[in-house]
Structure formats: structure tokens, C-alpha cells
A and B are shown apart, each in its own frame.
Chain A
Amino acid sequence: MAHVNLSQVRKSFGSVEVIPPLDLAIEEGEFIVLVGPSGCGKTTTLRMVAGLESTTGGRIDIAGRDVTAVRPGERNCAMVFQNYALYPHMSVRQNIGYAMKVHGMPAAEIAKRVDDTAALLGLAPYLDRKPGALSGGQRQRVAIGRALVRQPEVFLFDEPLSNLDAKLRVEMRAEIKILQRRLGTTAIYVTHDQVEAMTMADRVVVMNGGRIEQVAAPITLYEKPANRFVANFIGSPAMNFFEVTVGDGEIALADQKLSLAPSGRATLAGRRTVTFGIRPEHMREGAHTARLTLVPDALEPLGAHTLIIGHVGEHRITAQVDPRFPAVPGQPCAVTIDMEQAHFFDPDTGARL
């Protein structure tokens, strides 16, 4: 059985159902990232696993034990919060050792574990400082230390890097990932940042409106998004979508015809209309290409490549091209599309075809 198992878990606040019945199985040692836009229920789900939020229905198991009605403290989870949630009047040493002290662990054992944890996280020089005298990154490291010193069944991370600056965030996400792999502890990590989700997760859970849209390895999400929402959410800049008509091995976008790759032909057999999705970075050469003429409205040179923000008919389009691509705002230009990278979705349900 899965290490952490949510079956038919529901949550309502009053008459508002924020999480419709939700199923999720997390294997031991897995790094799971819950990602989605604000208000998608990812934090609520995490807090239900922690026990900080009660469930309206369903059942949660951790390590084979039904913990649905168990107090947070007895679930053997450790949580890292967005605002660090350190005890402000205790030194780093006391913060990390506090829970063990309360639970009556011998002082020598506490000291050893605190020192080990501090060494692991590079906190040794700060052990006698108060949180107020630490930087954001150091504070979050203390919070992580406080979580892992307890050697819990599950780590719960609630947007732990959101309060850090961009550079530190990149460093810390690698650190957390390496640490989790070394300890082999199951981790559930909530973020709204798709880059964090993609880089850290063994499997990503994409949520929207309380529902799970897709659970998959990061690369699968990118290559085979289950539906239009996931396709739109994962990847930056976001995928372009067009409502097109199908006919004769081609799709018609505005008044232009794009020839389908063989795989696309098979997928679209017998359909009249479809949602065509293409990522900006797939506007490049390939085994089966098509030409699309667009009108650039603005150019965003990023160094390694340039983004063209433009339109085709009344559709907006973003294309990623070579920095030396000859584009001028207002003057139509043609880009190459790798049609083997095209995605097709049902125009009514949004499901991948």
C-alpha cells in the first residue's frame, strides 16, 4: 500500500466545497509536488494531511495507519511553513531541539542530533542566534532543520521558498531536493511555481479548482499534458492554443493551412474541429514542419532566443525564435512549426486527443 494515501478526501468550508472527492497515492520516499494556481486547494490538501485542517469526508492513511481523526502531533509529520514559523524567542539550537526536549529525549541525544542537523544544513555558526538575527534563507534552513531533526514519516512543505529572493530560491530548491533524496523521506511539497514543481518533483500533481488534473513525472506533464489546463499551466512561455478546423490532412488556422504530421493525421481522423496547441519553443525545424505567417506586435529579446508576441487573424500567438530572426513589429513574417510537437485537445472537454 502507498505510504501516504488519500481516498475520496473531501473538504467543504460551510456550503462551499473546495475539494471534491480526491484520491492520491504517494509511494514511500517519493517527492510529490502539488502545484496549481492560487485557490486550487493544494495548501488545503497539504493541511489535511498534516491534520491542521479537518476532512469533511474520506480517509487519509500514513504508513498504513488511518490518521483521518488523529491529532496533527500524532501523525508523525514534520511541516515547513512559508513564513518559517520559528519560535522567535528561542535560539536556533533551541528551535531545532525544542520538540525533542518536550518529548523527554535525553539531553545528550538532543545535542547530537541538533549538531548533526546543523552541520548538514550549514547552520553550525548560527546555533546560538535568535531567528531575528538571521536572513530569510537561514531562517528557512532552520525551519527545515527543525522538521528533519525529528526523523518523521513525511515532510510537508507549504510554499517554503516563496519568501526568498529568486537566486536563493534556485539554490534552496536544489538543496531541499538533494537532502530529501539523501534521507529518503517521503515529501509532499506545495508550490504555485511550476518551475519549482518541475525541477524538484518525482511526480507532480497539477490541481485546479480542488480537482487533480494530472499526476505524472515532470517530463510527461510537459510532453503529454492530459488536458488543456495542464498544457497551459506547465511550460513557460505558455503554450499557444487555436480553435481550428480539420480537413484533408491539414488544419486551417485563420486562412492558413498547416499540414499535419502522420501521428496527427491518425489522431484527428474523423474530426471536424479541434483545439490545436503548440509551444512557443516548438516553432523550429523538425522532421515534419509547416509554415505559419504571423504579424509581430512586440519583440522580447532574451539573449539566447527572442520571443515574438504577435497575432494570426484574431488569435494571439507567442513564438520563440532565433535571436537573429528578421522580425519587425507590424510586418508579417513566417515561422516554421515542428508539427510533430503539436498537441490536440477536444474543444468541448479540453481532454488530450
Chain B
Amino acid sequence: MSVGTAPDRVKYLFIWPAFLVVLTVSLFPLIYALIVSFQAVRLVPPVPPRFVGLDNYAQVLGSGRFWGAMWTTTIIVFVSVALQYVIGFTLALVLHHNVPGAALYRVSFLLPMFLAPVGVALIARMIFHPVLGPVNALITGLGFPTVTFLTDPALAISVLILVEVWQWTPFVVLLMLAGLQGLPAEVFEAARVDNIPVLRRFRDITFPMLLPLSTAVVFIRLIEGYKVVDTAFVLTGGGPGTATETLTLYAYYEGFRKFNIGMTSALSFVFLVVVTIAGTLYLVAAQRLARRYR
């Protein structure tokens, strides 16, 4: 054995502890869940696990409730992320150009992000309460009939979107503002000297230069958005009926109301596949857009 190969073997020994940690902490639960998703597991009443093949997956994919939850989640995510991006970028631009009192706005714009989503949902529930809420007080005060925000399917989804936008726009503001402040000032001064109008400056310079950041911000928000559960749980409980039931909320009900662990695991994996596909499609589209500028 040559001298050079001895340390090569030793190095694997040093890698093993870290690998074990990763294995137990990250991969084991994932693999365990994957195994469970192929079994019939019921906690109440306790039944020994039984291998059922793809039955759980068939059940999930054949369930109208699953596709309903998928559709609801997709609507909420895409509409709210689009609004978050547009509003957030606009606010970031305003803050970047140092409107009077920008320091105050900067703090107050960020506040919603620091609140727990459950708290935000509770506040929203009070605000839109048909009897006690200030919104309905205003509406009836103006002489209109009471609006049942949380029991009308379309309105309930709108409120959920509104809450999502309210809470997560600050995240977009924060990152886009950082991006704006990182852009080289001279480029914009050059554009000013060259008499490029403000809107063209945004369209041709600011936006393309921030495109990579925009892509990342929207991506993070999409992934996060698909996991929305607490807001819907507190605000509407998925109702009326299952009109505002998101994928994670559905999984929660399946797993912790019905204790149907096998199917919940299958649901989670379908969910993982859906988010991965959606994410990949998005990244491909974003890259195509970015290539036009690169």
C-alpha cells in the first residue's frame, strides 16, 4: 500500500459521523414516510401496518377533495404571490427613492412579516367577522347589507389571499429593496444623463438587472405559499365545505382527524411531486425570460 492512499481511506471515517447525522435527521423521516405511504396504517383503532402497494396513491388521486384542494391552493398561491410581487416591488421602489418618512414606512411595512400567521389569521377573522368586525360595521354603516366574507366560497378565498398578501408582501419589499440598493448607482446616473424617461429606465434597466433576484423571490414565495395551512385553518377551517381547503390542511385533516397515516403520507408525496413539478416549470420559464436579457 502506498503512502498516498492511506489518508484517503481515513477521510471516509471522518465523513461518516456527518453522513450519519444527515441520514437520521433528514433522510430517515423521508424514507420512513415513503414506506408508510405504501402501507395501510391506522392509529385509531390501532391496526398493524399492512403493505397495500399503490392503493393509497390511487385513493388520493381518485379523490375529488384532493383535486379541489390542489385547485384552491394553486389559486391562492398564484394570485397572492403575483400581488405580493407587484405590490412589494412597487413599495421597494418607493422606499428606494427615499420618499419623506421612508424610515418610518420601512419599519411599519416589515411588521406583518414578524407576526405569527396564526395571530394574523385570528386578527383577520375578527376584522371580517359578520357581526363584530369593523369591515362589516363600515359596510352596514354605509347602508349596504352585511357581507359574509368567510362563509361565501369566493369571498373566503379572497380574504385568504388578502391575508397572505398582507403578511408576505414585506418579505418581497425587504429583498427587492436590498436588490435595488445593491444596483450600481452610476448606471442610473448614466441613464439620467442620457435622458432616458423614468418608465423606460425601469423597464429596460432596473427590471432586467433585478430579474435574477425577482426569480428567486417569487420562487421562495411560491414554495412557501403551497404550504399554507395555519391561515386557512384558523380563518375558515377549510370551509365553507371544502371551498378553502388547502393541500396541507387536507393532509392535516386526513392525518390528525382521521388518523389515516398511510394515505396522508401518500398525499404528502403527491404534494411533493406537484410542488417539484410546479417549481421546475417555473424555473424553466424564468430562465427563458432571463435569457432574453442575458
| Interface residues in chain A, defined as those with a beta carbon under 8 Å from any beta carbon in chain B | 50-52, 71-75, 77-79, 81-89, 98-99, 102-103, 130, 143, 146, 150, 156
Within the assembled complex, what's the spacing in Å between the Cα atoms of A99 and B204? 11
Which of B186, B193, B195, B209 has the most chain A CB atoms inside 10 A of its CB? B193
A-B contact pairs, 12 of them (CB 8 A): A51-B192, A71-B195, A72-B189, A78-B193, A83-B184, A83-B186, A85-B186, A87-B191, A88-B209, A89-B294, A99-B196, A102-B196
Judged by a CB distance under 8 angstroms, whether B205 is at the interface is: yes
Within the assembled complex, what's the spacing in Å between the Cα atoms of A52 and B192? 8
Give the distance to chain A from B23, nearest Cβ to Cβ, in Å. 41
Which of A74, A78, A79, A130 has the most chain B CB atoms inside 10 A of its CB? A79
A73 touches B193 (CB 8 A): yes
Could you say which residues of chain B place their CB within 8 Å of the CB of A50? Answer: 189, 193
Q: Which residue on B lies nearest to A47, using beta carbons?
A: B189
Q: Which residue on A lies nearest to B187, using beta carbons?
A: A85
B252-294: CB near A (< 8 Å → 1, else 0) gives 0000000000000000000000000000000000000000011
Judged by a CB distance under 8 angstroms, whether B4 is at the interface is: no
Contact pick for B192, options A72, A89, A102, CB 8 Å: A72
Could you say which residues of chain A place their CB within 8 Å of the CB of B193? Answer: 50-52, 72-73, 75, 77-79, 156
Contact pick for A73, options B184, B187, B195, B294, CB 8 Å: B195
| Interface residues in chain B, defined as those with a beta carbon under 8 Å from any beta carbon in chain A | 184, 186-187, 189-197, 200, 204-205, 208-209, 293-294
Within the assembled complex, what's the spacing in Å between the Cα atoms of A237 and B166? 65
B189 touches A102 (CB 8 A): no
Could you say which residues of chain A place their CB within 8 Å of the CB of B195? Answer: 71-74, 99, 102-103
Within the assembled complex, what's the spacing in Å between the Cα atoms of A52 and B209? 22
Tell me the interface secondary structure of chain B in the complex. helix
A102 touches B184 (CB 8 A): no
Q: Which residue on A lies nearest to B294, using beta carbons?
A: A89
Known interface pairs A51-B193, A73-B193; 10 further A-B residue pairs with C-beta atoms within 8 A, sorted by A's residue number: A52-B193, A79-B190, A79-B193, A83-B184, A83-B186, A84-B186, A87-B204, A89-B209, A130-B294, A150-B194
Q: Which residue on B lies nearest to A78, using beta carbons?
A: B193
Could you say which residues of chain B place their CB within 8 Å of the CB of A73? Answer: 192-196
Give the distance to chain B from A278, nearest Cβ to Cβ, in Å. 42
Could you say which residues of chain B place their CB within 8 Å of the CB of A83? Answer: 184, 186
Give the distance to chain A from B156, nearest Cβ to Cβ, in Å. 42
Within the assembled complex, what's the spacing in Å between the Cα atoms of A77 and B187? 16
- Given A72-B192, A73-B192, A130-B294, verify A86-B187 contact (CB < 8 Å): yes
Could you say which residues of chain A place their CB within 8 Å of the CB of B294? Answer: 89, 130
Could you say which residues of chain B place their CB within 8 Å of the CB of A146? Answer: 190, 194
Could you say which residues of chain A place their CB within 8 Å of the CB of B186? Answer: 81-85
Within the assembled complex, what's the spacing in Å between the Cα atoms of A239 and B87? 62
Within the assembled complex, what's the spacing in Å between the Cα atoms of A156 and B193? 10
B189 touches A79 (CB 8 A): yes
- Given A87-B205, A89-B208, verify A102-B190 contact (CB < 8 Å): no
A81 touches B190 (CB 8 A): yes
B197 touches A102 (CB 8 A): yes
Q: Which residue on A lies nearest to B293, using beta carbons?
A: A89
Contact pick for B190, options A51, A74, A85, CB 8 Å: A85
Contact pick for B184, options A74, A85, A98, CB 8 Å: A85
A87 touches B200 (CB 8 A): no
- Given A89-B294, A98-B204, A130-B294, verify A81-B196 contact (CB < 8 Å): no
Q: Which residue on A lies nearest to B290, using beta carbons?
A: A89
Could you say which residues of chain A place their CB within 8 Å of the CB of B197? Answer: 102
Give the distance to chain A from B86, nearest Cβ to Cβ, in Å. 21
Could you say which residues of chain B place their CB within 8 Å of the CB of A103? Answer: 195
Could you say which residues of chain B place their CB within 8 Å of the CB of A52? Answer: 189, 192-193
Could you say which residues of chain B place their CB within 8 Å of the CB of A78? Answer: 193-194
Give the distance to chain B from A130, nearest Cβ to Cβ, in Å. 7
Give the distance to chain B from A205, nearest Cβ to Cβ, in Å. 21
Q: Which residue on A lies nearest to B197, using beta carbons?
A: A102
Could you say which residues of chain B place their CB within 8 Å of the CB of A156? Answer: 193
Within the assembled complex, what's the spacing in Å between the Cα atoms of A87 and B209? 9
Could you say which residues of chain A place their CB within 8 Å of the CB of B208? Answer: 89
Give the distance to chain B from A83, nearest Cβ to Cβ, in Å. 5
Could you say which residues of chain A place their CB within 8 Å of the CB of B200? Answer: 102
Could you say which residues of chain B place their CB within 8 Å of the CB of A87? Answer: 187, 191, 204-205
- In the A-B complex, the 8 residue pairs with the smallest Cβ-Cβ separation, listed nearest first, are A73-B195, A85-B186, A99-B194, A85-B190, A89-B293, A81-B186, A72-B192, A89-B208
Within the assembled complex, what's the spacing in Å between the Cα atoms of A99 and B196? 7
A85 touches B196 (CB 8 A): no
Within the assembled complex, what's the spacing in Å between the Cα atoms of A130 and B208? 14
Within the assembled complex, what's the spacing in Å between the Cα atoms of A51 and B189? 10
Within the assembled complex, what's the spacing in Å between the Cα atoms of A156 and B194? 12
Q: Which residue on B lies nearest to A84, using beta carbons?
A: B186
Could you say which residues of chain B place their CB within 8 Å of the CB of A150? Answer: 194
Give the distance to chain A from B245, nearest Cβ to Cβ, in Å. 43
Within the assembled complex, what's the spacing in Å between the Cα atoms of A295 and B9? 68
Within the assembled complex, what's the spacing in Å between the Cα atoms of A203 and B200? 38
Within the assembled complex, what's the spacing in Å between the Cα atoms of A62 and B238? 68
Q: Which residue on A lies nearest to B186, using beta carbons?
A: A85
Give the distance to chain A from B7, nearest Cβ to Cβ, in Å. 40
Give the distance to chain B from A117, nearest Cβ to Cβ, in Å. 14
Q: Which residue on A lies nearest to B207, using beta carbons?
A: A89
Q: Which residue on A lies nearest to B185, using beta carbons?
A: A85
Could you say which residues of chain A place their CB within 8 Å of the CB of B189? Answer: 50, 52, 72, 79, 81, 85
Could you say which residues of chain B place their CB within 8 Å of the CB of A143? Answer: 190
Within the assembled complex, what's the spacing in Å between the Cα atoms of A334 and B200? 69
Q: Which residue on B lies nearest to A81, using beta carbons?
A: B186
Within the assembled complex, what's the spacing in Å between the Cα atoms of A98 and B193? 13
Within the assembled complex, what's the spacing in Å between the Cα atoms of A74 and B193? 8
Could you say which residues of chain A place their CB within 8 Å of the CB of B209? Answer: 88-89
Could you say which residues of chain B place their CB within 8 Å of the CB of A81? Answer: 186, 189-190
